[in-house]
Amino acid sequence: MDGEKINGGASAVSRHLYHANNTKKMKVIRSVIYWSLGLSLSATLSAQEAQSDTTIYKALEEPARFPACEQLDTTLAAKAKCAEQALLEFMYDNIRYPQEAREQNLEGQVVVSFVVEKDGSLSNFAVLKDIGGGAGLEVLRVAGAINSAGIKWVPGRKDGKPVRYQYTLPIRFKLEEALPYVLNGRDTIYTTYDTPLNFKGGDDALRAYLETELGYPAVPEDTCIMGRIELQLLVRPSGEVRILDLVDYNDLGFDFWYEAVAAATSTYGRWEPATFEGREVNAAFDLSLPFLPDYGSCKEEVSRYKQANERAQEGAQLFADGETEAGMAKLTEAIEAFPNNAEFLLMRGQAYLDQQMYSEACTDLRTARAISLVTWYDAVLPIICGRR
Environment class of residue 96 by beta-carbon count within 10 Å: exposed (0-12), middle (13-18) or buried (19+)?
Answer: middle
User: Among 156, 173, 190, where does a domain finish?
Assistant: 173
Same domain, 186 and 168: no
- Radius of gyration of the chain from Cα atoms? 25
Same domain, 54 and 123: yes
Digitized pLDDT (tens) for each residue of the chain, 388 residues in all: 544 555 555 443 333 333 333 333 333 222 333 333 333 333 333 344 445 678 999 999 999 999 989 888 889 999 999 999 999 999 998 999 998 898 899 999 999 999 999 999 999 999 999 999 999 999 999 998 888 777 899 999 999 999 999 999 999 999 987 789 888 888 999 999 999 999 999 999 999 999 999 999 999 888 999 999 999 999 999 999 999 999 999 999 999 999 999 999 999 999 999 999 999 999 999 999 999 999 999 999 999 999 999 999 999 999 999 999 999 999 999 999 999 999 999 999 999 988 889 899 999 999 999 999 888 888 788 778 875 5
Q: What is the pLDDT of residue 110?
A: 97
Q: How far is CA 82 from CA 69, 71, 77, in A?
A: 6, 11, 9
Domain of residue 111, CATH code:
3.30.2420.10
Same domain, 100 and 163: yes
Environment class of residue 335 by beta-carbon count within 10 Å: exposed (0-12), middle (13-18) or buried (19+)?
Answer: buried
Domain of residue 364, CATH code:
1.25.40.10
In a domain, 27, yes or no: no
pTM above 0.75, yes or no: no
Same domain, 46 and 146: yes
The beta strands (E) that lie in the chain are given as: 7-10, 56-57, 108-116, 122-129, 156-158, 161-173, 181-184, 187-190, 198-199, 227-235, 241-248, 271-272, 274-276, 279-281, 283-291
Q: What is the pLDDT of residue 385?
A: 82
Same domain, 49 and 164: yes
Q: How far is CA 316 from CA 19, 119, 277, 334, 345, in A?
A: 21, 42, 37, 11, 11
Same domain, 265 and 335: no
User: Among 274, 294, 314, where does a domain finish?
Assistant: 294
* Residue-number span of the structural domain to which 276 is assigned: 7-17+179-294
In a domain, 99, yes or no: yes
Quote the CA–CA distance of 190 and 199 in Å, as a whole number.
Answer: 17
